[in-house]
Amino acid sequence: KIVNNKKEKGYPIEYLELKNITNKEVIEHVSACDFVFDEIYSDSVLGSLGTEAALLGKPTLVSGYVENNQLGLMMDELPPAIKTNPELVEEKFNWMVDNIKELRTLGKQARDYVIMRCSGSAVAYRLLEALKGFSERNMNPNELSYFLGWGISKKNLRDFLRRYVKKFGAKALCLED
C-alpha cells in the first residue's frame, strides 16, 4: 500500500518482496537496492537482513514500539538504522524515497557500525567481558520500561495477555516475585 501510494504520485519505485529465495539471491537484490525495509514490528534495530544490508552499505527501515530510552542504551550504542513507530512507517518511507543521497551516508554509517561492533571478535570480546562481570553498560532489568515483546503490536499483546491470564491466572505473570 505504501509503495503504491508513492507510485501513484509518479515516483519510479521498484519494490521487491524477498521470500523463498537463497541467501545468495537476497544479497544480489540488496546489493542493487537503495534501502531495505526489514520489519514492521521489531524490537531489534538490525536483524539478520538489516545486518547484511548494512555490510553492503544499505540503510534499513525498521519499525517497532520500543523507544531508545526504554532500552537503557546510549544513542551511540544503537545501530544506525532508520527507526520508526509502525503507525509512522509511511511517513518515514516517504522521507527515505525523497532523500536517497542522505541514505548513502546512513548506509556507510551502518556499514561502519556493523564492522566495528558485530564482527565475531567484537561480539566474543563483549561476551567474555560480560562473563567476567564487566560490561560496557550495566543494565538493571528492573529499570527497563519496555514490555511489548518481540515483534508484536500493542493490540496483539493485549489480546495475548488477556488469553494468557484467562488460561493460567494472574499469578502466572509472576508480578509478585
Give percent of the chain with pLDDT exceeding 70.
80
**83-109: pLDDT as tens digits:** 888 888 899 999 999 998 999 999 999
pLDDT band at 72 (very low <50, low <70, confident <90, very high): low
pTM above 0.95, yes or no: no
What pLDDT does residue 102 have? 92
For the cut 90, the answer to whether the pLDDT of residue 54 exceeds it is: yes
Longest dimension (CA), the chain: 57
What pLDDT does residue 163 have? 87
pLDDT band at 12 (very low <50, low <70, confident <90, very high): confident
Distance CA 34, CA 21 (A): 20
In one-letter notation, the amino acid at residue 27 is I
Indicate the burial class of 19 (C-beta count within 10 angstroms; 0-12, 13-18, 19 or more).
exposed
Give percent of the chain with pLDDT exceeding 90.
28
153-158: average pLDDT: 72
Distance CA 42, CA 17 (A): 18
Is the Cβ–Cβ distance between 154 and 65 less than 8 Å?
yes
Q: Where are the beta strands (DSSP E) in the chain?
A: 36-39, 60-63, 82-84
For the cut 70, the answer to whether the pLDDT of residue 153 exceeds it is: no
What pLDDT does residue 61 have? 92
